[in-house]
Chains A and B, each alone.
Chain A
Amino acid sequence: MLKFLISLFSSPAILLGAVAFIGLVAQKGKDFTDVTKGTLKTIVGFLIFQIGATTITSTLQSFNVLFQDGFHIHGVIAAPEAATAMAQGKYGFVVALTLILGFAMNLVFARITPFKNIFFTGGHSLFFACVLALILKFEGLNDAWAIILGGTILGFCSTALPALCQPFMRKITGGDAQAIGHFNMIGYATSGLVGMLFKKHANETTENIKFPKFLSLFKDFIIGVAIVMLIMFYVATFAAGQAATAKIAGGVHWLVFPLIQALTFTAAMSVLMYGVGMFLEEITNAFVSISTKFIPGSRPALDVPTIFPYAPTAVLVGFLGSYAAGLLGIVIMTVFHFSTVIIPAAHICFFSGGAAGVFGNSTGGWRGALAGSFVMGLMLAFLPLLLLPVLQQMGIQGSTFPNVDYNVVGILLKQVFSIF
């Protein structure tokens, strides 16, 4: 019986399903149908996420082989979804529990500290939980301590970091009802500060600029990922050559192989995101009802697209600024013979760079948007290099976590551990 229970709940899908179940039962006005539907959807959502994860991992392995054969350096795609996917097999249980404890500790810290932010971007909490779990396991902590320490750090960052951005958020949204909840908060605040350098031109906003239509292609998540992955796979394939590609292509023509692999990666990414959206729905629901009931004066910290309506063009400027910085990063890493090259992912630059653009625009107009997002892009490109040795040893190959906050926190955590 005990063996059955351990086996059942060490599956992260079941664990999250159980949390959703408890959350649903605790909310009044939920009948049997709601509880069954919500619980099953959470479990199935997580399983869909894992199916996407498996496929992403296998396509990235092909990419690694090709890139390494071709250039004799590691090429690492800065996509946190893919990096999280790679940790699921071995550390899924620790990650899932860190995530859940992180939610709980967010509520606790929001209750007892002056930071009243409740962090609702569950996808980002998942990435942060994953980085923390990997670092703490690398440091040799057992599962229980890794979860307790990781969950506490996650919970604290969830409520405290949005406060950094709040002065800018008041400017952007014209109110204090909403905070930003996306683990680049240190980067967004920096972008807002960089924008202040152009304070005199704050009125020359991005919203007066007209952009060519093809750029809107990158607004579509799937297309953005597909274009970048196609380019990356073909670059790696041509560098590796026909013989090396044919060896792993398993009978597929060597020029068709990268096409299929790049688009399979994109498809898997879409599957993965669909799964994340599904399993987070009920958990977010429960989180909302608990926080509104028990934490008076709490402020929701929400995903970045919630600020995009306030300056849609700044988002495009920010995308371009941060992607340009990422490409400059590739040049620098190649010229100076870094052992690894970080390749910027289009969708990350769109959301994270785009939000940096909105922050920069609020303080320094289009100049602020461009400069702020460029600085953001540099952070996305260079900060991950510092944690890469740890993550690679933990089995995360070919992709990594680019977002600013968990890199900064992870690097600090590593420093703390190096004292002991």
Chain B
Amino acid sequence: MKVLVTCRNGMGTSTMLTVQVRNVASKNGWDVDCEHASLDAVGSFHGDLIISLSDVAQELKDEGVKTPVIGIQSLMDANEIERKMAPFVGK
């Protein structure tokens, strides 16, 4: 599964969120190929899932982004990431 982790400037938040997503994926044995970038990468992303923090995710949904988007409220909450990613894995 191809995942884009994104935040506004592609630097701090998305880097950390990527680390979290990878940990969750390897813990569950999910095959996840995860890139991180700023929001400018969203338009040219042709993968399966976009992950961001919930305020940014809501904006992406409002803009009508075609790829499914999930928003994380609390970056350190691995359970939240796992719960929200699970429905998309293996599709």
Asked if chains A and B come from one complex, the reply is yes
Interface residues of A (CB under 8 A from B): 29, 120-124, 173, 175, 177-178, 181-182, 216, 219-222, 270, 273-274, 276-277, 280-281, 284-285, 288, 300, 302-306, 308-310, 312, 315, 347, 351
Q: Given A178-B75, A219-B59, A281-B36, answer yes or no on A123-B12 (Cβ-Cβ < 8 Å).
A: yes
Closest to A347 in B: B9
5 A-B pairs besides A216-B59, A220-B39, A300-B76 with CB distance below 8 A are A177-B77, A181-B12, A219-B59, A270-B40, A305-B13
For chain B, the count of residues having a C-beta within 8 Å of the partner chain is: 30
A305 to B59, CA, bound (A): 14
Cβ of B36 and Cβ of A284 under 8 Å apart?
A: no
Return chain B residues, CB-CB under 8 Å to A285.
Answer: 19
A222 to B7, CA, bound (A): 13
Cβ of B19 and Cβ of A277 under 8 Å apart?
A: no
Cβ of A276 and Cβ of B75 under 8 Å apart?
A: no
Cβ of A221 and Cβ of B15 under 8 Å apart?
A: no
Q: Given A302-B13, A309-B73, answer yes or no on A219-B19 (Cβ-Cβ < 8 Å).
A: no
A29 to B25, CA, bound (A): 14
Dominant SS among interface residues on chain A: helix
- Cross-chain contact of B55 among A124, A173, A277, A308 (Cβ < 8 A): A308
Q: Given A222-B40, A277-B38, A309-B54, answer yes or no on A177-B11 (Cβ-Cβ < 8 Å).
A: no
- Cross-chain contact of A280 among B11, B39, B53 (Cβ < 8 A): B11
Cβ of B12 and Cβ of A302 under 8 Å apart?
A: yes
Return chain B residues, CB-CB under 8 Å to A121.
Answer: 11-12
A398 to B79, CA, bound (A): 46
Return chain A residues, CB-CB under 8 Å to B26.
Answer: 29
A309 to B55, CA, bound (A): 5
A300 to B53, CA, bound (A): 17
Q: List 20 A-B contacts (CB under 8 A).
A: A121-B11, A122-B12, A123-B11, A175-B74, A178-B76, A182-B12, A219-B8, A273-B9, A277-B10, A277-B14, A281-B15, A284-B16, A300-B76, A302-B13, A302-B76, A305-B53, A306-B16, A309-B73, A312-B55, A315-B55
Chain B 24-62 interface residues, beta-carbon cutoff 8 Å to A: 26, 36-40, 53-56, 59
A122 to B40, CA, bound (A): 21
Return chain B residues, CB-CB under 8 Å to A175.
Answer: 74
Closest to A315 in B: B55
Cβ of B16 and Cβ of A303 under 8 Å apart?
A: yes
Cβ of A308 and Cβ of B53 under 8 Å apart?
A: yes
For the complex of A and B, the 5 pairs showing the least CB-CB separation, nearest first, are A303-B12, A312-B55, A309-B54, A121-B12, A309-B55
> How far is the CB of B22 from the nearest CB of chain A, in Å?
8
- Cross-chain contact of B15 among A29, A122, A222, A315 (Cβ < 8 A): A122
- Cross-chain contact of A277 among B37, B59, B75 (Cβ < 8 A): B37
Cβ of A277 and Cβ of B16 under 8 Å apart?
A: no
A306 to B72, CA, bound (A): 9
Cβ of A281 and Cβ of B18 under 8 Å apart?
A: yes
Return chain B residues, CB-CB under 8 Å to A273.
Answer: 9-11, 38
Return chain A residues, CB-CB under 8 Å to B59.
Answer: 216, 219
A220 to B42, CA, bound (A): 13
> How far is the CB of B45 from the nearest CB of chain A, in Å?
15
Return chain A residues, CB-CB under 8 Å to B7.
Answer: 303, 305
A121 to B16, CA, bound (A): 9
Closest to B20 in A: A288
Closest to A124 in B: B12
A288 to B24, CA, bound (A): 14
Cβ of A177 and Cβ of B76 under 8 Å apart?
A: yes
Closest to B26 in A: A29
Return chain A residues, CB-CB under 8 Å to B16.
Answer: 120, 284, 288, 300, 302-303, 306
Closest to B39 in A: A220
Max count, chain A CB within 10 A of own CB: residue among B12, B26, B55: B12
Return chain B residues, CB-CB under 8 Å to A309.
Answer: 53-55, 71-73
Cβ of A305 and Cβ of B8 under 8 Å apart?
A: yes
Return chain A residues, CB-CB under 8 Å to B76.
Answer: 177-178, 300, 302
Cβ of A178 and Cβ of B19 under 8 Å apart?
A: no
A120 to B19, CA, bound (A): 11
Max count, chain B CB within 10 A of own CB: residue among A123, A270, A305: A305
> How far is the CB of B62 from the nearest CB of chain A, in Å?
10
- Cross-chain contact of B13 among A219, A274, A303, A315 (Cβ < 8 A): A303
Return chain B residues, CB-CB under 8 Å to A312.
Answer: 55
Return chain A residues, CB-CB under 8 Å to B11.
Answer: 121-123, 273, 276-277, 280, 303
A346 to B71, CA, bound (A): 25
Cβ of A280 and Cβ of B15 under 8 Å apart?
A: yes
A123 to B12, CA, bound (A): 7
